[in-house]
């Protein structure tokens, strides 16, 4: 159940953002740039990262939304459970594993990110820009997950 009187059980992130445009008004534009703008990461890869971060955070509202979007863009979302259990054992391309290890660490232990974490991504053939975009997706989803959970939103709506 939502924690605020202006929200209902069917509310989503747009309801939070629209309630206080002075505070949250720039987030939809930022989200659009990060998730849909030009990037070395495909839309499917960004959505899979978004769903992964949301699963790590156990944010049901965002997991549901980003799994659906990832699937619509061609990602095999059945890998998410494996990714959460072990990035190294998950049935994804080896090239993607360093990115998923990075965003997992950034989500769960952000103060422990070191240069070697970035170097592993670069060694897999990714550019600095690709890692910047992965970090942006991770940061965005961590923020949106906190908004959803902080406001008491649970599952089924757009974010």
Looking at domain 13-151, its CATH class is: mainly alpha
pLDDT in tens, 109-134: 999 999 999 999 999 999 999 999 99
Residue 9, pLDDT score: 87
Q: What pLDDT digit, counting tens, does each position of 10-66 carry?
A: 899 999 999 999 999 999 999 999 999 999 999 999 999 999 999 999 999 999 899
Domain definitions of the chain by residue range? 13-151
C-beta of residue 46 within 8 angstroms of C-beta of residue 73: no
Sign of the C-alpha dihedral, residues 118, 126, 87, 158?
Answer: positive
Q: Which of 102, 99, 104, 103 is nearest to 125 (CA)?
A: 99
Cα separation, 142 vs 146, whole angstroms: 6
For the whole prediction, is pTM greater than 0.85? yes
Say if residue 157's pLDDT is above 60: no
Give the count of beta carbons closer than 10 Å to the beta carbon of residue 151. 18
pLDDT digits (tens, 9 = 90+) for 77-92: 899 999 999 999 999 9
């Amino acid at each position: 159940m939502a924690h605020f009187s202006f929200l209902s059980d069917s509310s989503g992130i747009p309801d939070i953002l629209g309630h206080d445009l002075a505070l949250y008004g720039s987030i939809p534009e930022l989200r659009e740039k990060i998730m849909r703008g030009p990037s070395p990461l495909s839309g499917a890869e960004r959505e899979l990262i978004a769903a992964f971060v949301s699963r790590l955070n156990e944010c049901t509202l965002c997991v549901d939304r980003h799994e659906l979007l990832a699937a619509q863009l061609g990602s095999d979302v059945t890998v998410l459970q494996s990714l959460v259990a072990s990035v190294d054992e998950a049935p994804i391309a080896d090239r993607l594993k360093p990115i998923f290890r990075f965003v997992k660490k950034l989500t769960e232990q952000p103060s422990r990110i070191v240069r070697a974490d970035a170097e592993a991504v670069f060694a897999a053939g990714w550019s600095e820009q690709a890692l910047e975009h992965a970090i942006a997706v991770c940061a965005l989803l961590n923020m949106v997950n906190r908004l959803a959970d902080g406001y008491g939103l649970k599952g089924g709506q757009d974010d």
